[in-house]
A and B are shown apart, each in its own frame.
Chain A
Amino acid sequence: MSQPILAGGRSPRVAGAAARWALGKIGGGLFVLWAVATAIFFGIRMIPGDPAEAIMGGPGSQASAEALAQARADYGLDAPLYVQYFSQLWRLATGDLGTSYSLKTPVSEVLGELVPPTLVLAVLALLVAWALALVVAVLSTRSGALGSALASGLEIVSAAVPHFWLASVLIMLFATALGWLPPVSTNAPAGLVLPVATLALPLAGFLGQVMRDTLEAAHRSPFALSARARGESETGVLLRHSLRHAALPGIALSGWAFGSLLSGAVVVESIFARPGLGRSLLSAVTARDIPMVTGVALLSAAAYVVIMAFSDIAERLADPRMAGS
Protein backbone atom coordinates (compact mmCIF):
# COMPACT_ATOMS: atom_id res chain seq x y z
CA MET A 1 0.00 0.00 0.00
CA SER A 2 2.90 2.33 -0.53
CA GLN A 3 1.62 3.75 -3.83
CA PRO A 4 -1.28 6.14 -4.23
CA ILE A 5 -4.16 3.88 -5.06
CA LEU A 6 -6.82 6.23 -6.22
CA ALA A 7 -5.09 7.78 -9.14
CA GLY A 8 -6.22 4.53 -10.81
CA GLY A 9 -6.11 3.91 -14.53
CA ARG A 10 -3.71 6.63 -15.51
CA SER A 11 -0.64 4.50 -15.97
CA PRO A 12 -0.03 0.75 -15.97
CA ARG A 13 2.03 1.07 -12.81
CA VAL A 14 -0.73 2.81 -10.88
CA ALA A 15 -3.35 0.42 -12.22
CA GLY A 16 -1.14 -2.46 -11.10
CA ALA A 17 -0.91 -0.96 -7.62
CA ALA A 18 -4.69 -0.60 -7.44
CA ALA A 19 -5.15 -4.20 -8.53
CA ARG A 20 -2.64 -5.37 -5.91
CA TRP A 21 -4.47 -3.36 -3.28
CA ALA A 22 -7.82 -4.89 -4.31
CA LEU A 23 -6.37 -8.41 -4.36
CA GLY A 24 -4.86 -7.87 -0.92
CA LYS A 25 -8.21 -6.71 0.46
CA ILE A 26 -10.07 -9.66 -1.08
CA GLY A 27 -7.47 -12.15 0.18
CA GLY A 28 -7.54 -10.61 3.66
CA GLY A 29 -11.33 -10.73 3.67
CA LEU A 30 -11.44 -14.40 2.63
CA PHE A 31 -8.93 -15.22 5.35
CA VAL A 32 -11.12 -13.51 7.96
CA LEU A 33 -14.21 -15.45 6.81
CA TRP A 34 -12.31 -18.75 6.83
CA ALA A 35 -10.96 -18.03 10.33
CA VAL A 36 -14.39 -17.15 11.72
CA ALA A 37 -15.97 -20.32 10.27
CA THR A 38 -13.08 -22.48 11.50
CA ALA A 39 -13.04 -20.97 15.00
CA ILE A 40 -16.77 -21.55 15.45
CA PHE A 41 -16.58 -25.08 14.00
CA PHE A 42 -13.83 -26.22 16.37
CA GLY A 43 -15.00 -24.02 19.25
CA ILE A 44 -18.36 -25.76 19.50
CA ARG A 45 -16.69 -29.18 19.45
CA MET A 46 -14.23 -28.30 22.22
CA ILE A 47 -17.04 -27.48 24.62
CA PRO A 48 -19.03 -30.23 26.36
CA GLY A 49 -22.58 -30.56 25.11
CA ASP A 50 -24.19 -32.32 22.18
CA PRO A 51 -25.23 -30.24 19.13
CA ALA A 52 -27.91 -32.86 18.48
CA GLU A 53 -29.53 -31.81 21.76
CA ALA A 54 -29.68 -28.19 20.56
CA ILE A 55 -31.37 -29.41 17.35
CA MET A 56 -33.99 -31.29 19.39
CA GLY A 57 -34.74 -28.18 21.46
CA GLY A 58 -32.07 -28.06 24.19
CA PRO A 59 -31.16 -30.31 27.16
CA GLY A 60 -34.63 -29.87 28.66
CA SER A 61 -36.34 -31.57 25.73
CA GLN A 62 -35.57 -35.14 26.94
CA ALA A 63 -35.13 -36.37 23.37
CA SER A 64 -34.86 -40.15 22.94
CA ALA A 65 -31.59 -41.76 21.88
CA GLU A 66 -33.08 -42.65 18.47
CA ALA A 67 -34.27 -39.09 17.90
CA LEU A 68 -30.79 -37.76 18.76
CA ALA A 69 -29.15 -40.29 16.43
CA GLN A 70 -31.59 -39.32 13.68
CA ALA A 71 -30.79 -35.60 14.20
CA ARG A 72 -27.06 -36.37 14.05
CA ALA A 73 -27.53 -38.24 10.78
CA ASP A 74 -29.76 -35.50 9.33
CA TYR A 75 -27.25 -32.75 10.08
CA GLY A 76 -24.19 -34.84 9.16
CA LEU A 77 -22.86 -34.83 12.74
CA ASP A 78 -22.00 -38.57 12.70
CA ALA A 79 -19.23 -38.31 10.08
CA PRO A 80 -15.52 -38.10 11.10
CA LEU A 81 -14.48 -34.62 12.24
CA TYR A 82 -12.28 -33.81 9.24
CA VAL A 83 -15.04 -34.89 6.83
CA GLN A 84 -17.49 -32.63 8.67
CA TYR A 85 -15.02 -29.75 8.62
CA PHE A 86 -14.18 -29.88 4.93
CA SER A 87 -17.76 -30.51 3.82
CA GLN A 88 -18.80 -27.57 6.03
CA LEU A 89 -16.16 -25.34 4.40
CA TRP A 90 -17.22 -26.52 0.95
CA ARG A 91 -20.87 -25.79 1.70
CA LEU A 92 -20.03 -22.33 3.05
CA ALA A 93 -17.83 -21.62 0.02
CA THR A 94 -20.72 -22.50 -2.31
CA GLY A 95 -22.99 -20.14 -0.38
CA ASP A 96 -24.92 -22.80 1.56
CA LEU A 97 -25.11 -21.64 5.18
CA GLY A 98 -26.90 -24.78 6.34
CA THR A 99 -30.21 -25.24 8.18
CA SER A 100 -31.09 -23.44 11.38
CA TYR A 101 -31.36 -25.82 14.36
CA SER A 102 -34.26 -23.98 15.96
CA LEU A 103 -36.19 -22.68 12.92
CA LYS A 104 -35.54 -25.74 10.68
CA THR A 105 -35.34 -23.44 7.63
CA PRO A 106 -32.25 -22.58 5.52
CA VAL A 107 -30.13 -19.94 7.27
CA SER A 108 -29.66 -17.95 4.06
CA GLU A 109 -33.46 -17.57 3.69
CA VAL A 110 -33.80 -16.38 7.29
CA LEU A 111 -30.95 -13.90 6.85
CA GLY A 112 -32.48 -12.60 3.61
CA GLU A 113 -35.62 -11.68 5.52
CA LEU A 114 -33.81 -10.20 8.51
CA VAL A 115 -31.22 -8.00 6.84
CA PRO A 116 -33.54 -5.33 5.33
CA PRO A 117 -35.27 -4.24 8.60
CA THR A 118 -31.93 -4.06 10.45
CA LEU A 119 -30.32 -2.19 7.57
CA VAL A 120 -33.11 0.41 7.57
CA LEU A 121 -32.62 0.93 11.30
CA ALA A 122 -28.81 1.12 11.12
CA VAL A 123 -28.60 3.46 8.12
CA LEU A 124 -31.15 5.88 9.57
CA ALA A 125 -29.33 5.85 12.92
CA LEU A 126 -25.98 6.46 11.24
CA LEU A 127 -27.32 9.45 9.28
CA VAL A 128 -28.95 10.97 12.37
CA ALA A 129 -25.78 10.41 14.43
CA TRP A 130 -23.57 12.06 11.80
CA ALA A 131 -25.91 15.05 11.52
CA LEU A 132 -26.16 15.48 15.30
CA ALA A 133 -22.40 15.17 15.84
CA LEU A 134 -21.62 17.66 13.08
CA VAL A 135 -24.16 20.24 14.26
CA VAL A 136 -22.91 20.07 17.86
CA ALA A 137 -19.28 20.18 16.73
CA VAL A 138 -19.81 23.24 14.52
CA LEU A 139 -21.94 25.08 17.07
CA SER A 140 -19.50 24.44 19.92
CA THR A 141 -16.38 25.55 18.05
CA ARG A 142 -18.09 28.86 17.38
CA SER A 143 -19.23 29.50 20.94
CA GLY A 144 -15.94 29.57 22.86
CA ALA A 145 -14.61 27.66 25.85
CA LEU A 146 -17.90 27.37 27.73
CA GLY A 147 -19.79 25.98 24.73
CA SER A 148 -16.96 23.59 24.11
CA ALA A 149 -16.99 22.35 27.71
CA LEU A 150 -20.78 21.98 27.60
CA ALA A 151 -20.68 20.01 24.35
CA SER A 152 -17.89 17.84 25.72
CA GLY A 153 -19.95 16.99 28.81
CA LEU A 154 -22.98 16.23 26.67
CA GLU A 155 -20.94 13.95 24.44
CA ILE A 156 -19.29 12.06 27.30
CA VAL A 157 -22.65 11.39 28.93
CA SER A 158 -24.41 10.35 25.72
CA ALA A 159 -21.49 8.12 24.77
CA ALA A 160 -21.66 6.48 28.20
CA VAL A 161 -25.39 5.77 28.02
CA PRO A 162 -26.02 2.07 27.39
CA HIS A 163 -28.52 1.30 24.62
CA PHE A 164 -30.76 -0.76 26.86
CA TRP A 165 -31.17 2.03 29.38
CA LEU A 166 -31.69 4.76 26.82
CA ALA A 167 -34.34 2.63 25.09
CA SER A 168 -36.13 2.04 28.40
CA VAL A 169 -36.03 5.74 29.33
CA LEU A 170 -37.30 6.79 25.89
CA ILE A 171 -40.17 4.27 26.12
CA MET A 172 -41.08 5.47 29.61
CA LEU A 173 -41.02 9.09 28.48
CA PHE A 174 -42.53 9.07 24.99
CA ALA A 175 -44.65 5.90 24.99
CA THR A 176 -45.85 5.42 28.58
CA ALA A 177 -45.95 8.94 30.03
CA LEU A 178 -46.67 11.10 26.97
CA GLY A 179 -48.18 8.48 24.65
CA TRP A 180 -46.72 10.18 21.55
CA LEU A 181 -44.94 7.18 20.06
CA PRO A 182 -45.56 3.41 20.08
CA PRO A 183 -43.41 1.27 22.44
CA VAL A 184 -43.29 -1.48 19.79
CA SER A 185 -41.45 -0.78 16.56
CA THR A 186 -43.03 -1.24 13.16
CA ASN A 187 -41.80 0.03 9.82
CA ALA A 188 -44.20 2.98 10.06
CA PRO A 189 -42.25 6.24 10.55
CA ALA A 190 -43.60 6.73 14.10
CA GLY A 191 -42.44 3.24 15.08
CA LEU A 192 -38.91 3.97 13.90
CA VAL A 193 -38.34 7.18 15.87
CA LEU A 194 -37.50 5.65 19.25
CA PRO A 195 -35.28 2.79 17.98
CA VAL A 196 -33.37 5.14 15.70
CA ALA A 197 -32.91 7.69 18.49
CA THR A 198 -31.66 4.93 20.82
CA LEU A 199 -29.02 3.86 18.34
CA ALA A 200 -28.08 7.35 17.16
CA LEU A 201 -27.53 9.22 20.44
CA PRO A 202 -24.59 7.21 21.89
CA LEU A 203 -23.01 7.02 18.44
CA ALA A 204 -23.37 10.78 18.01
CA GLY A 205 -21.64 11.24 21.37
CA PHE A 206 -18.62 9.22 20.26
CA LEU A 207 -18.44 10.75 16.78
CA GLY A 208 -18.94 14.23 18.23
CA GLN A 209 -15.95 13.93 20.58
CA VAL A 210 -13.59 13.13 17.74
CA MET A 211 -15.14 15.46 15.20
CA ARG A 212 -14.93 18.42 17.57
CA ASP A 213 -11.28 17.71 18.39
CA THR A 214 -10.43 17.53 14.70
CA LEU A 215 -12.49 20.60 13.88
CA GLU A 216 -10.82 22.66 16.61
CA ALA A 217 -7.38 21.53 15.45
CA ALA A 218 -8.25 22.33 11.83
CA HIS A 219 -9.44 25.77 12.88
CA ARG A 220 -6.05 26.55 14.43
CA SER A 221 -4.05 25.01 11.60
CA PRO A 222 -1.85 26.96 9.13
CA PHE A 223 -4.20 26.36 6.20
CA ALA A 224 -7.11 27.91 8.14
CA LEU A 225 -4.88 30.88 9.02
CA SER A 226 -3.82 31.40 5.43
CA ALA A 227 -7.46 31.16 4.29
CA ARG A 228 -8.37 33.85 6.81
CA ALA A 229 -5.43 35.94 5.61
CA ARG A 230 -6.80 35.66 2.08
CA GLY A 231 -9.90 37.33 3.47
CA GLU A 232 -12.21 34.36 3.75
CA SER A 233 -14.98 34.63 6.31
CA GLU A 234 -15.14 32.25 9.30
CA THR A 235 -18.08 30.48 7.62
CA GLY A 236 -16.03 30.14 4.45
CA VAL A 237 -13.10 28.64 6.33
CA LEU A 238 -15.47 26.23 8.05
CA LEU A 239 -17.28 25.12 4.91
CA ARG A 240 -14.35 25.01 2.53
CA HIS A 241 -11.55 23.77 4.79
CA SER A 242 -12.34 22.61 8.32
CA LEU A 243 -15.44 20.48 7.73
CA ARG A 244 -13.56 18.15 5.42
CA HIS A 245 -11.29 17.33 8.33
CA ALA A 246 -14.15 16.81 10.74
CA ALA A 247 -15.47 14.16 8.36
CA LEU A 248 -12.23 12.16 8.49
CA PRO A 249 -12.55 10.60 11.95
CA GLY A 250 -16.17 9.87 11.14
CA ILE A 251 -14.97 7.81 8.19
CA ALA A 252 -12.13 6.20 10.15
CA LEU A 253 -14.58 5.21 12.87
CA SER A 254 -17.08 3.68 10.43
CA GLY A 255 -15.93 0.14 11.19
CA TRP A 256 -16.39 0.83 14.84
CA ALA A 257 -19.75 2.53 14.20
CA PHE A 258 -20.86 -0.61 12.37
CA GLY A 259 -20.05 -2.66 15.47
CA SER A 260 -21.85 -0.23 17.71
CA LEU A 261 -24.95 -0.27 15.48
CA LEU A 262 -24.97 -4.06 15.25
CA SER A 263 -24.56 -4.49 19.03
CA GLY A 264 -27.18 -1.82 19.53
CA ALA A 265 -29.51 -3.62 17.13
CA VAL A 266 -29.37 -6.75 19.32
CA VAL A 267 -30.60 -4.73 22.29
CA VAL A 268 -32.94 -2.33 20.48
CA GLU A 269 -34.68 -4.98 18.41
CA SER A 270 -35.28 -7.06 21.54
CA ILE A 271 -36.69 -4.14 23.52
CA PHE A 272 -38.89 -2.73 20.76
CA ALA A 273 -39.96 -6.24 19.64
CA ARG A 274 -38.75 -5.47 16.12
CA PRO A 275 -37.83 -8.31 13.75
CA GLY A 276 -34.23 -8.16 12.58
CA LEU A 277 -30.73 -9.55 12.57
CA GLY A 278 -29.88 -8.58 16.15
CA ARG A 279 -32.95 -10.05 17.77
CA SER A 280 -32.57 -13.30 15.83
CA LEU A 281 -28.90 -13.49 16.78
CA LEU A 282 -29.89 -13.23 20.44
CA SER A 283 -32.46 -16.02 20.18
CA ALA A 284 -29.96 -18.12 18.20
CA VAL A 285 -27.35 -17.59 20.95
CA THR A 286 -29.86 -18.54 23.65
CA ALA A 287 -30.92 -21.67 21.73
CA ARG A 288 -27.28 -22.44 20.77
CA ASP A 289 -28.38 -22.55 17.14
CA ILE A 290 -24.85 -22.81 15.72
CA PRO A 291 -25.65 -22.63 11.97
CA MET A 292 -27.63 -19.44 12.59
CA VAL A 293 -24.85 -17.93 14.76
CA THR A 294 -22.27 -18.89 12.12
CA GLY A 295 -24.40 -17.30 9.41
CA VAL A 296 -24.80 -13.99 11.26
CA ALA A 297 -21.09 -13.95 12.21
CA LEU A 298 -19.96 -14.59 8.61
CA LEU A 299 -22.39 -12.01 7.24
CA SER A 300 -21.26 -9.27 9.60
CA ALA A 301 -17.57 -10.17 9.20
CA ALA A 302 -18.02 -9.84 5.44
CA ALA A 303 -19.85 -6.53 5.91
CA TYR A 304 -17.06 -5.31 8.20
CA VAL A 305 -14.37 -6.17 5.66
CA VAL A 306 -16.26 -4.36 2.89
CA ILE A 307 -16.91 -1.32 5.10
CA MET A 308 -13.22 -1.09 6.05
CA ALA A 309 -12.19 -1.27 2.38
CA PHE A 310 -14.59 1.54 1.49
CA SER A 311 -13.56 3.68 4.45
CA ASP A 312 -9.96 3.24 3.27
CA ILE A 313 -10.90 4.64 -0.13
CA ALA A 314 -13.09 7.39 1.34
CA GLU A 315 -10.33 8.54 3.68
CA ARG A 316 -7.90 8.93 0.81
CA LEU A 317 -10.51 10.88 -1.15
CA ALA A 318 -11.25 13.20 1.78
CA ASP A 319 -7.62 13.83 2.72
CA PRO A 320 -5.12 13.72 -0.14
CA ARG A 321 -2.27 13.64 2.41
CA MET A 322 -3.28 10.05 3.30
CA ALA A 323 -2.67 8.85 -0.25
CA GLY A 324 1.06 8.55 0.22
CA SER A 325 0.86 6.61 3.47
Chain B
Amino acid sequence: MAPRDKRLSSTPLEILFFLNGWYYATYFLLELLIFLYKGLLLPYPTANLVLDVVMLLLYLGIEVIRLFFGTKGNLCQRKMPLGISVALTFPSAMMASYYLLLQTYVLRLEAIMNSILLFFCGSELLLEMLTLATFSSMDRI
Protein backbone atom coordinates (compact mmCIF):
# COMPACT_ATOMS: atom_id res chain seq x y z
CA MET B 1 0.00 0.00 0.00
CA ALA B 2 1.40 3.34 -1.02
CA PRO B 3 1.59 6.18 1.52
CA ARG B 4 -1.78 7.92 1.72
CA ASP B 5 -0.51 11.44 1.67
CA LYS B 6 1.32 10.96 -1.64
CA ARG B 7 -0.57 11.32 -4.89
CA LEU B 8 1.10 8.68 -7.08
CA SER B 9 -1.80 8.18 -9.44
CA SER B 10 -1.23 9.12 -13.04
CA THR B 11 -3.65 11.65 -14.46
CA PRO B 12 -2.85 10.95 -18.15
CA LEU B 13 -3.40 7.24 -17.59
CA GLU B 14 -6.76 7.92 -15.99
CA ILE B 15 -7.69 10.21 -18.86
CA LEU B 16 -6.77 7.49 -21.36
CA PHE B 17 -8.85 4.92 -19.48
CA PHE B 18 -11.78 7.31 -19.47
CA LEU B 19 -11.54 8.01 -23.19
CA ASN B 20 -10.86 4.37 -24.04
CA GLY B 21 -14.01 3.31 -22.23
CA TRP B 22 -16.25 5.58 -24.28
CA TYR B 23 -14.35 4.81 -27.49
CA TYR B 24 -14.66 1.06 -27.07
CA ALA B 25 -18.42 1.35 -26.48
CA THR B 26 -18.72 3.18 -29.77
CA TYR B 27 -16.41 0.65 -31.47
CA PHE B 28 -18.49 -2.29 -30.25
CA LEU B 29 -21.74 -0.88 -31.61
CA LEU B 30 -20.18 -0.01 -34.94
CA GLU B 31 -18.64 -3.46 -35.29
CA LEU B 32 -22.02 -5.09 -34.71
CA LEU B 33 -23.55 -2.92 -37.41
CA ILE B 34 -20.66 -3.64 -39.75
CA PHE B 35 -21.01 -7.39 -39.26
CA LEU B 36 -24.72 -7.06 -40.00
CA TYR B 37 -23.86 -5.17 -43.17
CA LYS B 38 -21.24 -7.63 -44.32
CA GLY B 39 -23.46 -10.62 -43.52
CA LEU B 40 -26.27 -9.27 -45.67
CA LEU B 41 -24.40 -7.93 -48.68
CA LEU B 42 -21.20 -9.95 -48.99
CA PRO B 43 -20.89 -13.72 -49.57
CA TYR B 44 -19.89 -14.32 -45.95
CA PRO B 45 -19.45 -17.98 -44.91
CA THR B 46 -21.67 -18.68 -41.90
CA ALA B 47 -18.89 -20.33 -39.93
CA ASN B 48 -16.57 -17.38 -40.38
CA LEU B 49 -19.31 -14.89 -39.46
CA VAL B 50 -20.15 -16.75 -36.25
CA LEU B 51 -16.48 -16.97 -35.36
CA ASP B 52 -15.95 -13.24 -35.86
CA VAL B 53 -18.98 -12.27 -33.79
CA VAL B 54 -18.03 -14.61 -30.93
CA MET B 55 -14.51 -13.22 -30.92
CA LEU B 56 -15.98 -9.71 -30.79
CA LEU B 57 -17.91 -10.62 -27.66
CA LEU B 58 -14.77 -12.08 -26.10
CA TYR B 59 -12.97 -8.89 -27.00
CA LEU B 60 -15.69 -6.93 -25.14
CA GLY B 61 -15.20 -8.99 -21.98
CA ILE B 62 -11.42 -8.62 -22.07
CA GLU B 63 -11.66 -4.87 -22.60
CA VAL B 64 -14.13 -4.31 -19.77
CA ILE B 65 -12.00 -6.27 -17.32
CA ARG B 66 -8.84 -4.53 -18.44
CA LEU B 67 -10.30 -1.04 -18.05
CA PHE B 68 -11.82 -1.84 -14.66
CA PHE B 69 -8.60 -3.20 -13.20
CA GLY B 70 -6.61 -0.41 -14.75
CA THR B 71 -8.77 2.26 -13.16
CA LYS B 72 -8.82 0.43 -9.83
CA GLY B 73 -5.07 -0.02 -9.76
CA ASN B 74 -4.40 3.58 -10.69
CA LEU B 75 -6.85 5.26 -8.33
CA CYS B 76 -6.30 2.94 -5.36
CA GLN B 77 -2.52 2.96 -5.96
CA ARG B 78 -2.26 -0.81 -5.91
CA LYS B 79 0.13 -2.84 -8.07
CA MET B 80 -1.80 -6.10 -8.41
CA PRO B 81 -4.87 -4.70 -10.24
CA LEU B 82 -2.58 -2.63 -12.42
CA GLY B 83 -0.51 -5.73 -13.22
CA ILE B 84 -3.64 -7.61 -14.24
CA SER B 85 -4.52 -4.73 -16.52
CA VAL B 86 -1.05 -4.82 -18.06
CA ALA B 87 -1.33 -8.56 -18.68
CA LEU B 88 -4.70 -8.14 -20.36
CA THR B 89 -3.37 -5.46 -22.69
CA PHE B 90 -1.68 -8.10 -24.86
CA PRO B 91 -4.83 -10.15 -25.60
CA SER B 92 -6.57 -6.87 -26.31
CA ALA B 93 -3.86 -5.88 -28.77
CA MET B 94 -4.07 -9.32 -30.41
CA MET B 95 -7.83 -8.92 -30.87
CA ALA B 96 -7.36 -5.53 -32.46
CA SER B 97 -4.67 -6.93 -34.75
CA TYR B 98 -6.91 -9.81 -35.79
CA TYR B 99 -9.76 -7.48 -36.74
CA LEU B 100 -7.29 -5.24 -38.54
CA LEU B 101 -5.53 -7.94 -40.57
CA LEU B 102 -7.01 -11.42 -40.35
CA GLN B 103 -10.80 -11.28 -40.52
CA THR B 104 -12.56 -12.42 -43.69
CA TYR B 105 -13.44 -8.96 -45.00
CA VAL B 106 -11.71 -5.84 -43.71
CA LEU B 107 -13.38 -2.51 -44.46
CA ARG B 108 -11.45 0.74 -44.48
CA LEU B 109 -13.53 2.02 -41.56
CA GLU B 110 -12.61 -1.09 -39.57
CA ALA B 111 -8.96 -0.56 -40.41
CA ILE B 112 -9.03 3.00 -39.08
CA MET B 113 -10.93 2.09 -35.89
CA ASN B 114 -8.68 -0.83 -35.05
CA SER B 115 -5.62 1.34 -35.62
CA ILE B 116 -6.93 3.79 -33.05
CA LEU B 117 -7.55 0.92 -30.63
CA LEU B 118 -3.98 -0.28 -31.10
CA PHE B 119 -2.79 3.26 -30.37
CA PHE B 120 -4.79 3.25 -27.13
CA CYS B 121 -3.30 -0.11 -26.16
CA GLY B 122 0.22 1.06 -26.79
CA SER B 123 -0.17 4.33 -24.90
CA GLU B 124 -1.85 2.70 -21.95
CA LEU B 125 0.79 -0.03 -21.80
CA LEU B 126 3.53 2.57 -21.65
CA LEU B 127 1.82 4.65 -18.97
CA GLU B 128 0.93 1.60 -16.91
CA MET B 129 4.56 0.55 -16.91
CA LEU B 130 5.59 4.00 -15.74
CA THR B 131 2.96 4.00 -12.99
CA LEU B 132 3.98 0.55 -11.83
CA ALA B 133 7.56 1.74 -11.66
CA THR B 134 6.48 4.74 -9.60
CA PHE B 135 4.52 2.55 -7.19
CA SER B 136 7.43 0.15 -6.82
CA SER B 137 9.94 2.92 -6.21
CA MET B 138 7.75 4.48 -3.54
CA ASP B 139 7.28 1.13 -1.85
CA ARG B 140 11.01 0.55 -1.90
CA ILE B 141 11.67 3.90 -0.27
Binding partners A and B: no
The chain B residues found within 8 Å of chain A, CB to CB, are none
The chain A residues found within 8 Å of chain B, CB to CB, are none
